[in-house]
Amino acid sequence: AITDKEKQDPKIENFIKPYRDHIDNDLNSILAYSPETLDKSSGKWQTTIGNLMADATLQCGNPIFLSREKKNIDLCILNHGGIRAILPKGNVTTRTAYEIMPFENSLVVIALKGEQIFEMVDYFIATQKPHPLSGITFTIGKDNVAKNILIQGKPVLKETIYYVATNDYLANGGDNMNFFKKGTQKYDMDYKLRNILIDYFKEVDTIPVLNDIRVTIE
C-alpha cells in the first residue's frame, strides 16, 4: 500500500502520473451512448440491463464458439447478483464496463441436455430474481410452474443438447446453479465478460433498450 509519506514524495508522484493519466484516458474513452439509464432493479423477472448483458454475451461469444467448435450457442443465463452497477444515461465509457462487471469472470459454454434446461427454469422461478436470459423464453403458470419453454423459438426436448453461455463462476455451480454440474461438455472461451461488454459497446454505438418479453406471467 502507498503510505502518506510516499504520496507526498513528488519524485514518486511524477513517476506514477503518466501511468495514471494513461489509465484514466483509457477508462474515460467514450464507446457508446445510452438513451436511458439501464438498472437491474427495473423489473421483477427481467431487467433492461440484464437483457442487454445476456444478449451481448450471446452475440459476442457466438462467433468465437462457432469458429472453434462449429456449433452455435443456443442461450445464455447469467446471475442477477453479478451486475454491480447501473448503465447510466449518456456517454458509455470503458469505466462503465468495469463498474458493471468488476470481476474477472470469463465466458464458459456448457453443453446441457433439455432435462437440465427444465432444472434451470425451475431454479429461475424458485430464486425469484431477474437473472439475465437470452435465447430462451417461457411462461410462469399460476401454479408457479414453467410452460411453453422455447429455445431460439423451438420447444425444449428432454434429450437434445443445448449450448448454454454463462460465466465461469456459475459454470462451476456458483449461486447454487447445480444444473451446470451435469453438463456433458465444457468449453472455456478465454473471454472476460467485461471485455464482452466493452466489445459490444464499441460495436453498437447506441445502446438498445431491450424490453421484449422473455418471461411471461400467467
pLDDT in tens, 18-69: 778 877 778 899 999 999 999 999 899 999 999 999 999 999 999 999 999 9
Asked whether the predicted pLDDT for residue 86 surpasses 60, the reply is yes
Considering only CA atoms, which of 128, 137, 181, 183 is closest in space to residue 156? 137
What is the structure's pLDDT at 20? 81
Q: Which of the two residues, 126 and 22, has the higher pLDDT score? A: 126
pLDDT band at 1 (very low <50, low <70, confident <90, very high): low
With a pLDDT cut of 90, the percent of the chain lying above it is 86
Report the C-alpha gap between 30 and 124 in whole angstroms: 35
Once rounded to an integer, what is the mean pLDDT over residues 205-215?
A: 94
User: pTM for the complete prediction?
Assistant: 0.90
pLDDT in tens, 139-189: 999 999 999 999 999 999 999 999 999 999 999 999 999 999 999 999 999
Cell numbers at residue 5, please? 509519506
Asked whether the predicted pLDDT for residue 7 surpasses 60, the reply is no
Considering only CA atoms, which of 185, 179, 200, 199 is closest in space to residue 69? 185
What is the structure's pLDDT at 3? 57
Tell me the average pLDDT of the chain: 94
Counts for the chain of helices (H) and strands (E), in that order: 7, 11
* Cβ 109 vs Cβ 164: under 8 Å: yes
With a pLDDT cut of 70, the percent of the chain lying above it is 96
Asked whether the predicted pLDDT for residue 205 surpasses 70, the reply is yes
Q: Which of the two residues, 7 and 211, has the higher pLDDT score? A: 211
Considering only CA atoms, which of 162, 212, 168 is closest in space to residue 57? 168
Report the C-alpha gap between 5 and 76 in whole angstroms: 49
Once rounded to an integer, what is the mean pLDDT over residues 189-205?
A: 96
Task: Identify any residues that bridge with 32 across adjacent strands, giving them in sequence order.
Answer: 92
